[in-house]
Amino acid sequence: MTIITKKADLATYITKDHSSICELMHPEQHHNHNQSLAQAVVQPGQETQLHYHVKTEELYHILEGQGLMTLNTESFNVEPGDTICIPANSKHKIKNTANTNLVFLCCCSPAYSHNDTFILDK
């Protein structure tokens, strides 16, 4: 069975960490099984909340904009073309440091779940 999604047909929602997400492929909505892929947008001057996932490993791939990634005790600048591996149980957040949207792909394995997202700062 071929599985394809069209971004124009997909809804956007706000995740527990306050980023705007469009699930490009997710087992709860599509017919894949082991992972999810989403496009995230963080507005200028905004940042996600510091959080972690107990089970999920994430990959962020920066498409547009500039940001400051915090991963555990380290912070570093990110730009288009950068890919960050976020192991399970790693505290992380990302801040948009530019005047344009920060847009990135977020691949999660196992798939993203609100129940596996634990917010550390409010």
Could you tell me the residue ranges of all domains in the chain? Answer: 20-119
| pLDDT value of residue 30 | 75
pLDDT tens string 16-72: 887 888 888 887 777 788 899 999 999 999 999 999 999 999 999 999 999 999 999
**Could you tell me what percentage of the chain is helix, strand and coil, using 3-state DSSP and rounding each to the nearest 5?**
5, 50, 50
pLDDT, mean of residues 89-111 = 97
CATH topology of domain 20-119: Jelly Rolls (2.60.120)
| pLDDT value of residue 70 | 98
Q: Is-contact 30 5, C-beta < 8 A? A: yes
- Give residue 91's pLDDT band: very low, low, confident or very high (50, 70, 90): very high
73: CB partners within 8 A, 6+ apart: none
pLDDT tens string 65-74: 999 999 999 9
33: CB partners within 8 A, 6+ apart: 27
| pLDDT value of residue 2 | 58
How many angstroms from the chain centroid is the CA of residue 72?
Answer: 16
Q: What is the pTM for the complete model shown?
A: 0.88
